[in-house]
Amino acid sequence: MTNNEKMDIDTTTPAAAPHHMIKQKRPHVSSDESVQMPWVEKYRPATLEDLVAHEDIVAILTRLIDSDNLPHLLLYGPPGTGKTSTIVAAAKRMYGSTAAYSSMALELNASDSRGIDVVRNEIKEFAGTRQLFNRGIKLVILDEADAMTSDAQFALRRVIEKHTRNARFCLICNYVSKIIPALQSRCTRFRFAPLRVEQIRSRLVEVADAEGVNYTEDGIRSILSLSGGDMRRVLNLLQSTAMSSEVVNEKSVYMTSGAPLPKDVDTTLGWLLNLEFKEAYDKLVNVCSTKGYALADILTDLATALLGMELPPGVLAVLLDGMSNVEHRLAFGTDEKLQAASLVGVFIQARTIMKIK
């Protein structure tokens, strides 16, 4: 993909940041294109060596490519864990140049039409022809393959068998259970686990320093706590916060993401554990309406906080079961105020059990 040449980091490095809490201000950038380019794309790894995680998978792929023994691949795992970046970097290593990659690789994702007609025509035609001036096997990358219809997957099974001689297929998906067994058995599977905090932190600080972002340590910790092991989410949140605030700190990160502030979650938990029904309900509804919090987000953070507390197993089971029912009903678009009352009722019930014991 020729756009990768535009995604390289500028060779001019920002001045060394002073050793205090807030880093230096972002330097003026004259190019409108550099300002508008998403940092996810600007800092996408160009080589296998640039990847910050999954060293075992990278090592295996490197050996397979260097020995010209690449099988069909199935890469699966949560979003933002480096599946697409890994196979694109591997393909560029295999072909040696961006121009060769453009002619020897076909990349289709969820935005492209990938029904049975595309499999029978476009993919089959690409895999069945050989390049005149490029040697080696072709590569077909099907991103978000779990969105393909069952008919298209069955048709793809036959295409893979027929064109194995001069093409390799790489299927990328979030949910491997949505790939038919016939395709799974024809591929070597690699699972991409969510990235660890220390792996994300190094790249996060590197990008922030390269862009001259003003950030504080609690801002970095806040982004990491909201990451969920997703590097794409981390860089998008960093860029959004940096563009909307002068300093990337805890408050600006949570305001940009819309997630409840930790202190607000702790305060809400205190209300639910100590106040009477009416007062706890009024305060919960008020904090959701004044600060724009979604009740589902508060539920998620409350569950995390409860799991860190020392509660009797029976009481914790009642709380988590009741909260999961509230979350289930919220997912179907029920009234938030009604479900807020239900949430308060769950805590009142748990407190009653504790008093009886």
pLDDT of residue 354 exceeding 90: no
Q: Which two tokens stand for residue 30?
A: 């004259």
pLDDT band at 2 (very low <50, low <70, confident <90, very high): very low
Residue 353: the pLDDT is: 87
Residue 132: the pLDDT is: 57
Least confident of 28-42, 138-152, 207-221, 331-345: 28-42
pLDDT in tens, 178-201: 999 999 999 999 999 999 999 999
Residue 278: the pLDDT is: 94
End-to-end CA distance of the chain: 65
Residue 210 CA: distances (Å) to CA of 12, 35, 51, 204:
9, 13, 17, 10
Share of the chain above pLDDT 70, in %: 87
Residue 4: the pLDDT is: 45
pLDDT in tens, 274-283: 999 999 999 9
Q: What is the mean pLDDT of residues 344-348?
A: 95
DSSP 15: P
Domains of the chain: 2-44+196-257 (1.10.8.60), 54-191 (3.40.50.300), 262-356 (1.20.272.10)
Residue 301: the pLDDT is: 92
Residue 15: the pLDDT is: 45
Higher pLDDT among residues 294 and 34, named by residue:
294
pLDDT of residue 21 exceeding 50: no
Residue 169: the pLDDT is: 92
Beta strands in 84-199 (DSSP E): 105-108, 138-142, 167-173, 188-191
Residue 62 C-alpha from the chain's centroid: 24
pLDDT of residue 25 exceeding 60: no
pTM equals: 0.77
Q: Which two tokens stand for residue 92?
A: 């560029």
pLDDT of residue 24 exceeding 50: no
DSSP 148: S
Question: Could you tell me if 45 and 76 are in contact, meaning their C-beta atoms sit under 8 angstroms apart?
Answer: no
pLDDT band at 114 (very low <50, low <70, confident <90, very high): low
pLDDT in tens, 145-157: 888 888 888 888 8
Average pLDDT for the chain: 85
Q: What is the dihedral of CA 156, 158, 164, 167, to 10 degrees?
A: -30
Distance CA(93)–CA(46), nearest Å, equals 10
Residue 20: the pLDDT is: 40
Residue 158: the pLDDT is: 87
Distance CA(234)–CA(269), nearest Å, equals 27
Residue 3: the pLDDT is: 45
pLDDT of residue 100 exceeding 50: yes
DSSP 176: G
pLDDT in tens, 229-277: 999 999 999 999 999 999 999 999 999 998 999 999 999 999 999 999 9
Contacts within 8 Å (CB) and 24+ apart, 156-165: 156/119, 156/123, 156/183, 157/182, 157/183, 157/186, 159/119, 159/120, 159/123, 159/124, 159/127, 160/72, 160/186, 161/186, 162/128, 163/124, 163/127, 163/128, 164/72
Question: Could you tell me if 56 and 139 are in contact, meaning their C-beta atoms sit under 8 angstroms apart?
Answer: no
Least confident of 81-90, 107-116, 143-152: 107-116
* Three-state SS at 139: strand
Residue 134: the pLDDT is: 61
